[in-house]
Chain A
Amino acid sequence: MALDIVRADSVGQAAGVLAGDDGARFLAGGTFLVRAITAGDVSIRTVVLSDGLGLDRIALGDPIEIGSAVTMAQVLGEPHLGFLHPVADSIGGPAVRAMATIGGNLFAQSPYGDFAVALLALGASVVSEGADGEASQDLEAFLAEGPPRGRIVRAVRFATPAAGAFRYLKITRKHPHGASVLSIAAVLPVPGGTLAGVRVAYGAMSPRPMRARAVEAALEGRPLDAAAIEAATKVAADGTMPEDDPQASAWYRRAVLPVHLRRLLSGEEG
């Protein structure tokens, strides 16, 4: 009931508090965490604020580095991240976008986590800090292993995709903004006329954002033509484990996924 508030001076110090206390959580935008506190999650006894730790910066080098406390609104305010604007713009209304952070989005469960879906397609790595110092991990592994206890995500890093190679679409029932029926992000580089280094990721098609390996394999090495798109569409739902929720049933998600994947790949949508 009583909640301790900790303002740390450094990420290392904050990570120390988290490591030493089961009831401690790192508070970024709070769009999930505060909701949990208000709903009566009594396991949360301490929050460590992300404020003032310098995690809210975007570095436009190569790779691009986005601090974990950067909000969707900040991404939208950065012209050099134009290809990510449709992603940030699809997450909640203006107030949610002004609060929700990139770091928090990595911890989201279906139907949320749309930014993480985009990062998965971009092949991002996650930089985190704990008692043993800083470490970098592939986002896919990070998502698979679950949130690291006592570690704080500092930033995500990814290489700028080739011009026009990044595609994103999100299907919602509520317009213009809503939770995902599903979302798809893809990086489709065609350096020499054929696809090379394809990455496709889904949101709301499993409990956490996932990569569509079968689709990637069906596309890799081929020109992005009707035959390749057909082959990818056939295996669209491979490995997916969608859930039933108020947005859509698992059945519906599986049924419409190939349609939206085809539209994304053929450029009709997204």
Chain B
Amino acid sequence: MTPIVNLKNLTKIYYKGDSEILTLDHVSLQIEPGEFIALMGPSGSGKTTLLNLLGGLDTPTDGEVDVCGQDLSVLSSRELARWRADHVGFVFQSFNLLPVLTARQNVELPLTLQPLSSQERRHHAEVALRIVGLEDRMDHRPSELSGGQEQRVAIARALACDPQLLLADEPTGDLDAKSAQDVMELLKRLNESLGKTIIIVTHDSHAAEFARRELHLEKGVMHMERKR
């Protein structure tokens, strides 16, 4: 099987004034379709940076990023945006949703970039919300939802365009234990029943246990792997 993520000697250096911050140091990595990966490591080790590079939100200083069969380094910023819309879904730690929109409208947002009629958009959004178990909260605004529910709406939005790859940066970071458990179970279910490739960044070893493979990053170097 061709890997869905293929990194070769990926290096990211931030320049601040005269100083260089080596954030990712020759990271090489392959991820097969259908994997569920937990990316761990201390604060500042480069986890978010790596995730952003995978999702085409940032560009590497050196090395190759090949995701979903596409070499990201050749795309313009506009093509990258389009590619993101079609291939990846993002979930962040908090403030994922647009406060003016209802849950359904938030989920419909990425669908507006696709050539769909408004009924189709609506239908897709409803399906996604049903998958995350929020069919009864469709017309609620983010301020009327709990943190865990907000995260589930964010996941539904990430799912809406049916991407192969879900990227989540500390999706349970702001949640209580129960909600975190729910979100992780949801991700696991998406991985197992829908076959989504999922990469999450987390500090929480309990959350990491849901993943089938753990990657540890330290000071920008891929340090160790553990398989379950």
Q: Do A and B come from one complex?
A: no
